Structure 1
Amino acid sequence: MTALGFLYPGHSAEDDYPRIEQLLGSDIRLDLVHTDIGEDAHRVDALRQMGAPERLAKGVEQLRLAGAEAIVWACTSGGFVHGWEGAQEQVRTLATTAGMPASSTSFAFVHAAQEIGAGRVAVGATYPDDVAALFAEFLRAGGVEVTGVHSAGIVTAAEVGTWGEAEVFALARAADAPDARAILLPDTALHTAALLPALEKELGKPVLTANQVTVWEALRLTDRRVNAPGLGSLFTREPIVQV
């Protein structure tokens, strides 16, 4: 049994995780601990506070006692708002506190794009324009070209959590661009686990979503590979061989 730990802010789309656990169909357990969200606002100052070390540290011991082998900070915006270097420091601190490998959803997107060979991507962000632009800047710092960013301008995770299939598909369609090799939907408050194969079929290209890449990143940290077609092409492709 491989136990993976996740620090998830508040309550929005956490039900994606038991669904993903079921779709993995393997000896993998996903353990989720909710962190204090503070002010629910897609605003840079609030997002930086959301991912503060003391807030993340509070959930670490519970995951450690549950037997987690790796921990991922399951919040995209609470990572990339610190910039590339700041997000690296956030993860290093988390790993030191936890005493195990750690990462965040922001880095998961970069690693997942590399995994599928998508050096050029389009972004469909639920966030306001300024926050969405910071995500694109983060991706570029990680060597991923961004063809364009579509922003839905939503201020709270609570509102994002109410979105259903129609809204998610509309966001993905609005973000798509002919020269993009993949579509990225960066918000762990967005329910996407049940929609991945249908999204990819409609758009004709890989779709990477926040909770999907977060779980994939935890598996990567523990050197596990799982073939799970229900979770999209990220979970069915052979790894890209770097030469």
Structure 2
Amino acid sequence: MTALGFLYPGHSAEDDYPRIEQLLGSDIRVDLVHTDAGEDTHRIDALRGIGAPERLAKGIEQLRLAGAEAVVWACTSGGFVHGWDGAQEQVRTLAVTAGMPASSTSFAFVHAAREVGAARVAVAAVYPQDVSALFADFLRAGGLEVTGVRGGGAAGAAEAGAWGEAEVLALARAADTPDAQAVLLPGTALHTAAWLPALEDALGKPVLTANQVTVWEALRLTDRRVHAPGLGALFVREPTVQV
């Protein structure tokens, strides 16, 4: 049994995680601890406070007791708003505090894009445009070319969590460009786990979503590989990325 640990801010699309655990269909356990999300807003200054070390540290002991072998900060915007260097420092601090391998959803997107062979990506972000642009900057710092950015304008996690398949697909289609090799949907507040095959069928290319890549990143940290076509192209490709 491999136990994966996740720190998830607030409550919005956390039900994606038991769904993903079920779709993995293997000896994988997904343990999720909720952290204090503070004010529910996609405002940049508020997002910078979501991933403060003291907020993340409060959930670590629960994951240790659950036997987690790796931990991922399951919040895209709470990572990339600090920039590449700031997000790296955030993960380093998390790893030291937890005493186990650590990463974040922001870095998971970069690693997952490499995994599916996508050097050029389109961004379909649920956030306002200014926050979406910061995510694009983060991806560029990670060596990816961003072919287009579309912000969905959701004011906060609660609004994003209420989106259904039609809204998610419409945003992905609006962001996609002919030269994009994958479409990225950041925001762990967005439900996507149930719709990954439909999204990829509609767009004709890999679709990477926040909760999907977050779980994949934890598996990568524990050197596990699971074949799970129900979770999209990311879970059927070889080989594992090297970083």
Take 1:84 and 1:190, find their aligned partners in 2: how far apart are those partners?
23
SS at match of 2:193: coil
Match of 2:3 in 1: 3
Match of 1:100 in 2: 100
SS at match of 1:55: helix
Q: Do the aligned partners of residues 107 and 162 (structure 1) sit closer, same or farther apart at CA in structure 2, a change above 3 Å counting?
A: same
Per-residue deviation, 1:238: 1.1
Take 1:241 and 1:16, find their aligned partners in 2: how far apart are those partners?
24
Match of 2:12 in 1: 12
CA deviation string 1:55-83 (max 9, x = no partner)? 00000000000000000000000000000
Q: Which amino acid aligns with 2:57?
A: A
Take 2:106 and 2:35, find their aligned partners in 1: how far apart are those partners?
17
Per-residue deviation, 1:153: 1.1
User: Is the contact made by 1:21 and 1:29 (CA closer than 8 Å) also made in structure 2?
Assistant: yes
Q: Do the aligned partners of residues 100 and 118 (structure 1) sit closer, same or farther apart at CA in structure 2, a change above 3 Å counting?
A: same
Q: Unpaired runs of 5+ in structure 1?
A: none
Take 1:123 and 1:86, find their aligned partners in 2: how far apart are those partners?
21
Take 1:221 and 1:27, find their aligned partners in 2: how far apart are those partners?
16
Match of 1:227 in 2: 227
Take 1:28 and 1:232, find their aligned partners in 2: how far apart are those partners?
18
Match of 1:27 in 2: 27
Structure 1 stretches of 4+ with a deviation exceeding 3 A read none
Match of 2:195 in 1: 195
Take 1:240 and 1:74, find their aligned partners in 2: how far apart are those partners?
20
Take 1:40 and 1:123, find their aligned partners in 2: how far apart are those partners?
22
Take 1:241 and 1:215, find their aligned partners in 2: how far apart are those partners?
15
Q: Unpaired runs of 5+ in structure 2?
A: none
**Is 1:162 the counterpart of 2:146 in the alignment?**
no
User: Is the contact made by 1:108 and 1:217 (CA closer than 8 Å) also made in structure 2?
Assistant: yes
User: Is the contact made by 2:197 and 2:232 (CA closer than 8 Å) also made in structure 1?
Assistant: yes
Per-residue deviation, 1:219: 0.1
Take 1:175 and 1:30, find their aligned partners in 2: how far apart are those partners?
31
Match of 1:52 in 2: 52
SS at match of 1:146: strand
Equivalent residues in 2 for 1:74-223, closer than 5 Å? 74-223=74-223
CA deviation string 1:131-188 (max 9, x = no partner)? 0000000000000100010111111100000011110110111111000000000010
Per-residue deviation, 1:241: 7.6
SS at match of 1:118: coil
Q: Which amino acid aligns with 2:70?
A: A
Match of 2:72 in 1: 72
SS at match of 1:163: coil
Per-residue deviation, 1:240: 6.8
User: Is the contact made by 1:2 and 1:29 (CA closer than 8 Å) also made in structure 2?
Assistant: yes
SS at match of 1:171: helix
Take 1:199 and 1:12, find their aligned partners in 2: how far apart are those partners?
21
User: Is the contact made by 2:220 and 2:240 (CA closer than 8 Å) also made in structure 1?
Assistant: no
Q: Which amino acid aligns with 2:45?
A: D
Take 2:94 and 2:241, find their aligned partners in 1: how far apart are those partners?
29
TM-score (norm 1): 0.98
